[in-house]
Structure 1
């Protein structure tokens, strides 16, 4: 790979373009910033196409990032610290980041041929929780994650990419309406298990369900909507000490997904 070019002038038009990408966006975007080493590596491994990758000029580009950029033909440019300050303002400055072409939104067809359970998050809005669940879903073999009423405009939301450590690109993550999810679950014939504080079954009982299921989780305080809960044939709860009101939804997701890995054993 040729020697990386250096971006050193804060007044360079390229710097302003990067600064615009770093701003929060609610609309449709074609390119987005993926920051920090692990998310960048996971996105490159998942086949996300990058316009360019940038590294701080005072540091050596991480070896795995450099190797993946060379493998995929992604141009690399070094950036002076003053330029990074202008791009990211008062935010924590990443030492390495890339500008990626936003992948096409995942559709239900992406789940049709896969294996593993599907997580349906209904009304879960805290991005850190969503990212943690996506990362856990990848680690424990889920087929995909469907987000309903998440308030996220795109899966390349920088907060979500960061919270999932880049694994939002490793598994299909769908942004869908409650109505479309209801139709898909009905048409797909996927058994729906509602994970709820008042569920009648324990997580261990999930191991007795041999087929793939849709695990429905709602917000910590309110649970899933009546419309989706009405599709559930089973309800599961995680027993906890009475001194604790509830568990974080990402913790519950990890418990039930792990319980699902024990099926057949």
Structure 2
């Protein structure tokens, strides 16, 4: 039979065969097992995509560390008028810096008096040192150190609203990056009875010294929270029974038809340029526009928020009668 020849040279000497001797897949059954699917390019250490993804992850980590460090560092309000405004508004401060040898006018005298009456340290420093502290800003011989803002948790806002005995009214900012707009929205929210303001963790202004000053001190009385994911937070509040409305130039209704005003409500204010993001707009139960003259395209984000919040407050007053 073919393959069974016993002639010399037709058979390999036992034990001299090269390669595998047990089966055709290798020494053991392990050799018959597949290695699985090929890893993605970014998961293969020697692939350029892996190096690129790794570098991007490191850069992102550095940016987050720098942002955390910036958020944790105190800020300094510079300039005579801004410093006096902050002290008048009762903004928390830890130190008032006064440059040696400056010409003391009424604003300098008032700043020193207000700081001393509140127990804030008044420190005289060289002008060059004040330049360094204020980052080279036009300080006019005065600088006010403001501690980092202590944010609340989003759940704290809803809890406080429910405990108030009034229908919850919360304000959410979607991509508002100008701290002056943030401060102005906080001021309007406090003026018209909102229970708190929530900011997204990314692409948003934070409570800097500029925002503090613009809020006229109301940020010390109104809780401000940061949401890791604004869309998810809005959905959680919707599940808790709050209606979500977004300010939009092409809204479903105009502010005159805002019948949801008297119930539990979240008012979402979009960014200065692009307005509401797509996911946030899809999360809203209703979008609201503000009627304007035809030759005006849009309102500043903080002004639009003030108009809508004023209408909400008006309707709630009427409903309470």
Scaled to the shorter chain, the TM-score interval is 0.7 to 0.9
Post-superposition shift, 1:189? Answer: 1.9
- Do 1:217 and 1:249's aligned partners in 2 also have CA atoms closer than 8 Å? yes
Matched, 1:254 2:306: yes
- Tell me if 1:38 matches 2:85: yes
Is 1:26 the equivalent of 2:67?
A: yes
For 1:94-133, list aligned pairs within 5 A. Answer: 96-111=142-157, 112-114=159-161, 115=164, 117-133=169-185
Tell me which structure has the larger Cα radius of gyration: 2
Asked if the contact 1:135/1:167 (under 8 Å) is kept, the reply is yes
TM-score (norm 2): 0.62
Find the counterpart in structure 1 of residue 122 from structure 2: 76
Change (3 A) 1:253 1:218: same
Match of 1:213 in 2: 265
The 5 Å alignment of 1:198-209 reads 198-206=250-258, 209=261
Question: Is this contact kept in 2: 1:124–1:149, CA < 8 A?
Answer: no
Which string of whole-angstrom CA distances, capped at 9 and with x for unpartnered residues, describes residues 202-261 of structure 1? 223337632241111212443323332233222211012232222221221111111112
Q: RCO higher in 1 or 2 (8 Å CA, sep ≥ 6)? A: 1
Q: Structure 1, unaligned stretches of length 5 or more?
A: 1-24
Verify the 8 A CA contact 1:119 1:217 in the aligned structure 2: yes
* 1:92 alignment partner, one of 138, 144, 154: 138
Distance in 2, matches of 1:150 and 1:87, equals 27
Report the count of equivalent residues: 235
How far apart are residue 103 of structure 1 and its match? 4.0
Q: Deviations over 1:135-169 (max 9, x none)?
A: 222232222211226534742x3343344344433
Partner of 2:226: 175
**In the alignment, is the contact (CA less than 8 A) between 1:37 and 1:65 conserved in 2?**
no
Mapped partners of 1:250, 1:166: distance in 2: 16
Structure 2 gaps, min length 5: 1-65, 78-82
CA distance in 2, matches of 1:98, 1:66: 13
Given that 2:250 and 2:289 are in contact with CA atoms closer than 8 Å, whether structure 1 keeps it comes out as yes
TM-score, L = length of structure 1: 0.73
Bigger share in helix: 2
Contact 1:119 1:146 in 2 (8 A): yes
CA–CA distance in structure 2, aligned partners of residues 129 and 205 of structure 1: 26
Separation in structure 2 between the aligned mates of residue 154 and residue 34 of structure 1, nearest angstrom: 15
Provide the C-alpha distance between the structure 1 equivalents of 2:225 and 2:294, rounded to a whole number of angstroms: 35
Matches within 5 A, 1:147-162: 147-148=199-200, 151-152=203-204, 154-155=206-207, 157-162=208-213
